[in-house]
Structure 1
Amino acid sequence: MASRFRHAALVGKYQAQGIRPVLDDIAHFLIGLGLDVSLEADTARNTGITEYGAHEPADLGRHCDLAVVVGGDGTMLGIARELARHHVPLVGINQGRLGFITDVPVDRYRDALGTMVAGDYEEEHRAMLEGGVWRDGTCIFSEFALNEIVVNRGATAGMVELRVAVGEEQIVGLRADGLIVATPTGSTAYALSAGGPIVHPAIAGWLMVPIASHTLSNRPIVLPDDGEITVEVVAGRDASVNFDMHRLASLLHGDQVRLRRSAHKVRFLHPRGWSYYGTLRRKLRWYE
């Protein structure tokens, strides 16, 4: 079977018990399909797999034309942000729990990868947020997010007071435990647990969800994705901002978190017949 790809990056949730033999099996399978294989550097270091080349994420993007991610959605989030700027498509092999974006069951990876490597797959593009923290007119921190950007109160402090604007227009001032600005992909993550709706990935919008708002009328709202969102910290101690729950910057009063649509999109490949609605039915047990 001819291959549409030439060089696969292999990324694993290296903390997971028993991950090494799974990665070895997948690597040998891909090599048997005619692909070169390189491991992501942290995956190689922490599993002790040395038979293949290892690269940092930025180098993977330059050398590889496919990424196979073994783990859960958290593993996928970490590498997807890095590879989006290189337009490398990603396949998710699920060894986690829910697996909204790592959707190929690990016990079925051979059937799925065999046909996908040959070019038989469904492809979708997911929008990302990019944002920065601005202090006294200077950007002091910037990052991407595939799921969400969260402004939180301090661990031991009370509520945080925030002022939110879209473009030049202020839309809300709120006191709450925090605020989530999520992509459609992130609508099934933290935003969902905070009471937000599920937003289909094809919708060009962001979801804004207050966390435990002091005022019950502060409800989730879907905003257009063609403008800049500004979240300003008005009051509250030890506030912070998280990008996909991985990167953190402490915030002071007057700091602004400015968010906009990234120029880069994440490319996901799925087995033929994949359905977003089917994923929701399985993961959320809507068939019960």
Structure 2
Amino acid sequence: MTCKFNKIGIIGKPNDLSITVPVTCLIHLLESLNCIAMLDEGTARSLSINDIPCYSREQMGQSCDLLIIIGGDGTLLDAARSMSDYEIPMAGINLGRLGFLVDISPDKMERTVTEILNGEYIDESRMLLEANISVDNTNIFSAKALNDMVIHKINVARMIEFDIYINEKFVYTQRSDGLIISTPTGSTAYSLSGGGPILHPSLAAIALVPICPHTLTNRPIAIGADSEIEIRFNKGNFEGIQISCDGQVNRQITEDQTLRIRVCEKTLTLLHPTDYDYYHILRTKLNWATQNYE
């Protein structure tokens, strides 16, 4: 069989020995298909795998033409951020709980991975967000997120006050526990728990979802993906404010800093099985009611 992809990177959930067997089986499958398996060095280290070559994320980004993620959605979120500059398509094998992003079941791994390598898949483009913190117009911190960016207090149950500007136009002043800025991908995560809308992945939109706003009329709003969001904080509320990217990367913000968030220029390509159905995933994961019309 002539494979569409030749060099396959493998990234697994860190410090989880339960992925040892799936990782090993995947490597053997790829080798049987005459593909080159490139195991992430962090994954190899956490599983104590020493008998096959392992590679840094940078080496994988420069060489791989496909990445296979083994774990849960959190594992794919981490991989998406670290590998986004290389624009390598990703497929995910679900060993976690929800599995909105990693949608290949372990019992169908061999068949589905073989189909993907043979060019039988559904591809889907997902946007990422980029946050930049600057002082006097000098950027001092940048981070990306596939799901969301959350502004909140650190370890203190107090409201914060801030002004929101979109494309340099004032929107409103908000007093709340924080703000969720979500992509369509993240609209089924923390944003959904906060009362935000579900955005189809094909929409070029960003959702701004207040966390427990003081004014009940301060509702979620969806804006265009070409928007730049600027957050200006009330200086009396600065102690202990941070931005959290996908719940995995955190950075404290001080009063002399400016926070701007926009959509990344580069996107993530997800590869799904040929029977992928977004609405079926919503019904299954969110336990929506169904009616049998047969």
SS of the residue corresponding to residue 85 of structure 1 reads helix
For 2:208 and 2:218, locate their aligned partners in 1 and report how far apart those are by CA, in whole Å. Answer: 10
> What is the CA distance between 1:273 and its match in structure 2?
2.3
For 2:181 and 2:48, locate their aligned partners in 1 and report how far apart those are by CA, in whole Å. Answer: 38
The change in CA–CA distance for 1:159 and 1:263 in structure 2 (over 3 A counts) is same
> What is the CA distance between 1:55 and its match in structure 2?
1.5
Work out which of the residue numbers 272, 275, 285 in structure 1 matches 2:274. Answer: 272
Verify: 1:181 aligned to 2:164, yes or no.
Answer: no
- 1:181-240 deviations in Å (ceiling 9; x for gaps): 000001011111111111001111100000111111111110111121101221422000
For 1:47 and 1:248, locate their aligned partners in 2 and report how far apart those are by CA, in whole Å. Answer: 26
Q: Is the 8 A contact 2:17 2:47 kept in 1?
A: no
Q: Is the 8 A contact 2:187 2:207 kept in 1?
A: yes
> What is the CA distance between 1:108 and its match in structure 2?
1.1
What is the aligned partner in structure 2 of residue 21 from structure 1?
Answer: 21
Matches within 5 A, 1:52-201: 52-156=52-156, 158-201=158-201
What is the aligned partner in structure 2 of residue 242 from structure 1?
Answer: 244
Verify: 1:9 aligned to 2:3, yes or no.
Answer: no
For 2:160 and 2:257, locate their aligned partners in 1 and report how far apart those are by CA, in whole Å. Answer: 13
> What is the CA distance between 1:94 and its match in structure 2?
0.2
Q: Is the 8 A contact 2:16 2:46 kept in 1?
A: no
| More deviation, 253-262/59-68 | 253-262
SS of the residue corresponding to residue 133 of structure 1 reads strand
Residue identity matched to 1:255: Q
What is the aligned partner in structure 1 of residue 227 from structure 2?
Answer: 227
Aligned-residue identity in percent: 36
- 1:148-200 deviations in Å (ceiling 9; x for gaps): 11111121251111110001211011111110100000101111111111100
Q: Which runs of structure 1 show a deviation greater than 3 angstroms over 4 or more consecutive aligned residues?
A: none
For 2:39 and 2:207, locate their aligned partners in 1 and report how far apart those are by CA, in whole Å. Answer: 35
SS of the residue corresponding to residue 265 of structure 2 reads strand
SS of the residue corresponding to residue 30 of structure 1 reads helix
What is the aligned partner in structure 2 of residue 46 from structure 1?
Answer: 46
User: Under a length normalisation based on structure 2, what TM-score does the superposition of the two structures give?
Assistant: 0.94
Q: Is the 8 A contact 1:81 1:266 kept in 2?
A: no
How many residues of Structure 1 are paired with residues of Structure 2 in the alignment?
Answer: 288
Residue identity matched to 2:123: E
Residue identity matched to 2:281: T
| More deviation, 149-158/90-99 | 149-158
Q: Is the 8 A contact 2:127 2:268 kept in 1?
A: yes
What are the ranges of 5 or more consecutive residues in structure 1 without an aligned counterpart? none
What is the aligned partner in structure 1 of residue 214 from structure 2?
Answer: 214
> What is the CA distance between 1:27 and its match in structure 2?
0.9
> What is the CA distance between 1:87 and its match in structure 2?
1.7
Q: Is the 8 A contact 1:207 1:223 kept in 2?
A: yes
Work out which of the residue numbers 247, 257, 263 in structure 2 matches 1:261. Answer: 263
> What is the CA distance between 1:254 and its match in structure 2?
4.8
> What is the CA distance between 1:84 and its match in structure 2?
2.3
> What is the CA distance between 1:56 and its match in structure 2?
1.6
> What is the CA distance between 1:15 and its match in structure 2?
2.5
Q: Is the 8 A contact 1:233 1:254 kept in 2?
A: no
User: Under a length normalisation based on structure 1, what TM-score does the superposition of the two structures give?
Assistant: 0.96
